[in-house]
Amino acid sequence: MLYKTTGIVIKTFPYREADMIVRIFSLKKGKMDMLAKGTKKIKSKLAATVQPFTYGEYTFYQKNYNLAVLRQSEIIANYKNIISDLKLTFMGYYICEFIDYFLQENQGHPRFFALTVKTLEFINNFPDQSHAIFTAFKIKGISLMGFTPTLTNCIKCGFKDENLKFIFSVKEGGLLCSKCVPENNLFLPKKEILLLLFLLKSTYEEILKVNLTSEQLKTVESIIGKYINYHCEGHVFNSEGLLKKLT
Ligand SMILES: [Zn+2]
C-alpha cells in the first residue's frame, strides 16, 4: 500500500551500492526506516530530500511489516544554518540521537513531533539564542518522554517552601526538601530552580524575549544533562561529546 507522511530525517545508512536506508521520525508512524533507492547517484531526485534534519513529506510503499520503500518526497523545510554551522549541526545531531534513543518504531508521538520541528526551526532561525532553545528542548523533551521533573514542591512529602530550599534528585525525579534529604546536601540556588521551571513551561517565543546568557544556562545544564543521562541507562549520545569539545 502507498502511504504519505510528514517526517524529519534523523539518520541515514549506506545500503548496497547506490541505495540508502533513511531513518525518519514520521508524524503518523513515529520512528521508521525507509529504503531510498538510487539516492547515492548524482542524478537522484530523492537525494536532497533524505539528508539529515530535512523536514519533508514522504510517500512510501509498504507491504505488511516489510521495509518501507520511499517513492516520492518533497522538502517542507531544510535548515541551512543547522547544516552549515558546526555547533548547530551538533545540536541537530543531539536532537536526532535523542529521538532515536527514546522513540519506538511505529508509534507516533504528535506532541514530540511538533516540539522537534519547532526546535529545529528556532535553532536555525535564531542561531544567537540556540543555546537557550537547545537547553529548553532537553527539559521539554525528557518531560514529553514521561519524565517530567517535579519543580514546585518536594517530590517525597509534597512540602512547598517559599525560600525554595531544595536539592534536585535525578533518581527521584525532582526536588527534595531538607527533611527528605538523607545527608547535608548543597541546596540548589533559587534562581536555578526558577530557570528550570521557566525553560520547561515557556514557549520558545517567550524564551527568546528573555535573552538568557550562556553563563545563566550553564548553571542548569548539568542538572538537565544528568537527569537525561539517568533515564538513558548508560547510553551515550555521541553529539554530547562533540558539543563539549566545541565549547
Ligand atoms: Zn520532603
Q: What is the pLDDT of residues 172-208, one digit of tens each?
A: 999 998 888 866 667 888 899 999 999 999 999 999 9
CA of 143 to the centre of ligand 1 (A): 22
Contact between 172 and 196 under an 8 Å Cβ cutoff? The reply is no
CA of 193 to the centre of ligand 1 (A): 16
Reading the block at residue 21, the C-alpha cell is 536506508
Q: Report helix angle 110-125 to 130-144, nearest 10.
A: 170
Q: Where are the domains of the chain?
A: 1-78, 80-247
Distance, in Å, from the CA atom of 211 to the CA atom of 201, rounded to the nearest integer, reads: 16
pLDDT for position 184: 60
CA of 171 to the centre of ligand 1 (A): 14
∠ Cα 105 5 60 (to 5°): 85
Topology adopted by domain 1-78: OB fold (Dihydrolipoamide Acetyltransferase, E2P) (2.40.50)
Supply the mean pLDDT for the chain: 92
CA of 175 to the centre of ligand 1 (A): 8
CA of 180 to the centre of ligand 1 (A): 4
Contact between 76 and 53 under an 8 Å Cβ cutoff? The reply is no
pLDDT tens-digit series, residues 91-129:
999 999 999 999 988 889 999 999 999 999 999 999 999
CA of 157 to the centre of ligand 1 (A): 4
CA of 185 to the centre of ligand 1 (A): 13
CA distances from 244 to 71, 140, 209 (A): 39, 21, 26
* Residue whose entry in the numeric block shows the C-alpha cell 512547598: 160
CA of 188 to the centre of ligand 1 (A): 14
Thinking of the domain 80-247, which architecture would CATH place it in? Up-down Bundle (1.20)
> In this structure, which residues have their CB less than 5 angstroms from ion ligand 1?
154, 156-157, 159, 177, 180
CA of 134 to the centre of ligand 1 (A): 31
Residue 162, pLDDT above cutoff 80: no
Flag whether the pTM goes above 0.75: yes
CA of 198 to the centre of ligand 1 (A): 22
Residue 26 CA from chain centroid, whole number:
14
CA of 226 to the centre of ligand 1 (A): 21
- Report the percentage of the chain scoring pLDDT > 70: 98
CA of 207 to the centre of ligand 1 (A): 30
- Report the percentage of the chain scoring pLDDT > 90: 76
Contact between 71 and 112 under an 8 Å Cβ cutoff? The reply is no
pLDDT tens-digit series, residues 207-247:
999 999 999 999 999 999 999 999 998 899 999 999 989 87
Residue 48, pLDDT above cutoff 90: no
Contacts of 29 (CB under 8 A, 6+ apart): 3, 5, 105, 106, 107, 108
